[in-house]
Amino acid sequence: MKIPETPKRFDLWIDGAFTPSTSASYMTRQSPAHDCPVTAIAAGTAADVDRAVASALQTFESGVWANTSGAERSAILYAVAERLIERKQELALLETLESGKPLAQADSEVEWAAGIWKHAAALCRHLYGQSCNTLGASTVSMTLREPIGVVGLITPWNFPLLIASQKVPYALAAGCSAVIKPSELTSATTLILAEILKECGLPDGVLNVVTGYGDPVGQALCEHKDIEMISFTGSTTVGKAIAATAACNLKKVCLELGGKNAMIVMDDADLDAVVDAARLGAFFNMGECCNASSRILVHEGIADQFVERLTAFAKELSVCDPLDETSKLGAIINETQEQKILGYIAAGQKDGATICLGGGKVETEKGRYLEATILDHVPADSATATEEVFGPVLSIVRIKTLDEAISIANRTAYGLSAGIFTNDYNQAMKASRALRAGTVWVNTWLEGHPELSFGGYKQSGLGRELGSKAVEEYTEEKTVLFSLGKRQPWW
């Protein structure tokens, strides 16, 4: 895999074709790993959003997609899954160049994305209403699930193709038309996804892609009168702003936001399993992951042994050029994020935490790389232990009891995921019921399947993605009542 000599240029995708933005300008994306331009992405405008929404609305109202059968939709979505695999190398390389993540990881993510499209393809044929036959001899009713309309999808930079694949296929499976705005930092694979959908038979205008900055593109999507729903993945701060904007015209919102996920390690846990899971959970995707195990609440009886083993294991991680097949940690997305991460490390030290590993930059000729960092003796209520760092920083908090661990785990504004490692069935059940999080792992971490719903409690979001009811998020439920025989007079 090689760095391109010239950046690959992309226009907007509107009405089934690449289309220049009305701004006539492009955003050049520098590789965070190589400090060179890799893509040039059209800088969209509010006028471009209007064009894209108009195209989506026309196709929705025409019924060209909304009135197709589940079988027809399923065939197209399944074909997309197969096409993603065929173009896996191209997609993975673009993700690596724009995001800085290891190429081997990006390669796997394309496969995960394809699996999600297959799941959505199956759900196309399993979207049901209900009937009610207990309303008396003269009345029978049913409910219908209908596509909500034109939806706006806004995706982040950390898993561009994967998170687009948690939204787009389910919206399409429901029969919606859509406009998607990917992050301005990682737009390329979403644009290729749109091209693949056309190749696989999706009618023009059903999916449109408007690239650009949050202001104006994201703002225009959230405010647009013809958008019936916004599905957003990103920070809690931005999610709150989107919810406030959507309230002005009562759009439905589905929000997958931040997390500060606690991994509880009890003194009877299998240390080999925990150390491996902790390393994955904390440092996968450079910690730029909403489900990261960024804080570990470890029982004081095994804490010293655990920290020693985890530190030794984490030292083996290769932090280097993401195009290197040995790379486990690639580059940090941009300088702003790098400084934020370093700020949390400094704050942790100021609060009394001890650096067991890392703590600074990896000196390289090009790119932004941070060391895998482990902080021990982190105060449970410190910023480093309660706020989302979104970097390769693991905070270790020592606990005495499971009750204490559950209390600390729940004492944040977030509730995305959590987990416990223990060989005690009673402790595992107690924690899984008491932890206020949308996903609770027992003796594992970061394990996920399209069949399982995903979303958060509290300020980690609203609604759910994936799972058997994912398509229902993009529908309205309609009640239809039939009166049988002669109608009884009102008076």
Under a CB-based contact definition with an 8 Å cutoff, are residues 11 and 17 in contact?
A: no
Q: Are residues 191 and 171 in the same domain?
A: yes
Query: φ, ψ for residue 368 (rounded to 5)?
Result: -120, 115
- CA distances to 26, 49, 204, 210 from 22, rounded to whole Å, are 11, 10, 20, 11
Residue 2 lies in a domain: no
Strand locations in 102-222, DSSP E? 131-132, 139-147, 150-154, 177-181, 207-209
Residues 397 and 437 in one domain: yes
Q: Are residues 283 and 398 in the same domain?
A: yes
Distance between CA atoms of residues 316 and 319, nearest Å: 9
Indicate whether 169 and 300 sit together in one domain.
Answer: no
**Token pair belonging to 230:** 């916004």
The tens digit of pLDDT for each residue in 350-385 reads 999 999 999 999 999 999 999 999 999 999 999 999
The reply to whether 370 and 297 lie within a common domain is yes
Measured from the Cβ of residue 125, the count of other Cβ atoms closer than 10 Å reads 13
The pLDDT mean for the chain works out to 97
CA 103: distance to chain centroid?
Answer: 19
Total domains in the fold of the chain: 2
User: Residue 145 domain-assigned?
Assistant: yes
Domain housing 377: 262-442
Same domain for 243 and 270:
no
| Pair 115, 238 in one domain | yes
For 19-36, the pLDDT digits (tens) are 999 999 999 999 999 999
Identify which of 153, 188, 195, 249 has the alpha carbon closest to the alpha carbon of residue 463.
153
Domain of 274: which CATH number? 3.40.309.10
Catalytically active residues are 256, 290
Residue 477 identity (one-letter amino acid): E
8-10 β-sheet, strand order: 8-10, 37-42, 26-30
pLDDT tens string for the chain (491 positions)? Answer: 678 889 999 999 999 999 999 999 999 999 999 999 999 999 999 999 999 999 999 999 999 999 999 999 999 999 999 999 999 999 999 999 999 999 999 999 999 999 999 999 999 999 999 999 999 999 999 999 999 999 999 999 999 999 999 999 999 999 999 999 999 999 999 999 999 999 999 999 999 999 999 999 999 999 999 999 999 999 999 999 999 999 988 999 999 999 999 999 999 999 999 999 999 999 999 999 999 999 999 999 999 999 999 999 999 999 999 999 999 999 999 999 999 999 999 999 999 999 999 999 999 999 999 999 999 999 999 999 999 999 999 999 999 999 999 999 999 999 999 999 999 999 999 999 999 999 999 999 999 999 999 999 999 999 999 999 999 999 999 999 999 998 888 88
User: Do 205 and 277 have their domain in common?
Assistant: no
Q: Model confidence over 116-161: pLDDT tens digits?
A: 999 999 999 999 999 999 999 999 999 999 999 999 999 999 999 9
Check whether residue 63 and residue 130 sit in a common domain. yes
Q: What is the CATH number of the domain that holds 172?
A: 3.40.605.10
Those residues with Cβ within 8 angstroms of residue 445's Cβ, 6 or more apart along the chain or in another chain: 263, 277, 278, 280, 281, 293, 419
- Residue 454 resides in a domain: no
